[in-house]
Amino acid sequence: MRKAELLESGGMLHVETLPVAGTSIDSLDLDRLNFYLAAIIEDPEVPTNREQWIERLLGLGLMAEDGLGNTVCSIAGLVCFGIRPRRFLPQAGLRVMAFTGGDKEYQARLDTVLDGPLVGRWRMANKRRELVDQGIIEQFSAAILPFISCEDDDIDENMHRGKEFFYPMQAVRETVINALAHRDWSRSVDIEVSGYADRLEVISPGALQNSMTIAKMIAGQRSPRNPLIMEILRDYGYVDARGMGVRTKVIPLMRQQNGVEPIFETNEDYLKTTLPRGNNQDES
């Protein structure tokens, strides 16, 4: 096990706060950050120049000193607010795949790697929050939608066809957001989301942190590996405010819609969450 993993497993280090070589404040989307400070956390003193921004971002843990005299992005800063984060952190983003059969031997209907910051770029319009540019979470939802749903045969009174989802969309989003929030950033492999004929699999790099187990996770115990990233996602409303999305959303929604429970598997390399088609398996 690498030193960073040993320190992290002992609770002595949060990898998300480590510096990312080659980056600078220019690697961050200040429009996203400005909205985060002004509209999301309602900071009364939003920076107005480069020096103020660097000082503020150092304080927030979104930038870090690299030990060589440079002030660079932290992993959390780049992942949440970076401009094309994969240029500097290849494991940022998501690999999304879809297959017609039950394994990867069939030709992929979709195989793409999404790159971008976790959070969307928003603005206030008529006192409401409006999405201007998608983050990874919105990109994922758009990319996977055609492969986890189909149109109804019937047309409604407005000449529209409804959509039938093979899985609860909220459970899918929650599972992927959990992978993004809790993955081990010291591992240089992608999160993989794979859709098959009978299931959806989400593989998040890294073993469960500290003393966490699958049983504890299902029971609702909270032990975030990346607390800073988790708090930012919570501030935006991307994650359950209580941090118990597996217990309160994923499991009950899968039981309700598909008549099955998600399957969790873990080892020293990854956590895999499988959402079975269940009652929807024979639908197309």
Q: What is the mean pLDDT of residues 26-55?
A: 96
Q: What is the mean pLDDT of residues 189-206?
A: 97
Cα-to-chain-centroid distance, residue 4: 22
What is the pLDDT, as a whole number, of residue 266?
Answer: 95
In sequence order, which residues have a C-beta less than 8 Å from that of residue 157 and are 6 or more positions away? none
What is the pLDDT, as a whole number, of residue 104?
Answer: 87
Q: By three-state DSSP, how is residue 266 classified?
A: strand
Q: What is the mean pLDDT of residues 160-172?
A: 87
What is the pLDDT, as a whole number, of residue 153?
Answer: 64
Q: What is the mean pLDDT of residues 128-148?
A: 95
Given pLDDT bands bounded at 50, 70 and 90, which one contains residue 242?
A: confident
219 HSE (CA, 13 A, CB side): 7
Architecture of domain 3-280: 2-Layer Sandwich (3.30)
Given pLDDT bands bounded at 50, 70 and 90, which one contains residue 157?
A: low
In sequence order, which residues have a C-beta less than 8 Å from that of residue 225 and are 6 or more positions away? 8, 14, 15, 16, 182, 183, 184, 206, 209
Q: In percent, how much of the chain has pLDDT > 90?
A: 76
Q: How far apart are CA 12 and CA 26, in angstroms?
A: 30
What is the pLDDT, as a whole number, of residue 220?
Answer: 87
What is the pLDDT, as a whole number, of residue 151?
Answer: 79
Asked whether residue 71 carries a pLDDT value surpassing 50, the answer given is yes
What is the pLDDT, as a whole number, of residue 245?
Answer: 82
Asked whether residue 6 carries a pLDDT value surpassing 50, the answer given is no
Q: What is the mean pLDDT of residues 167-178?
A: 95
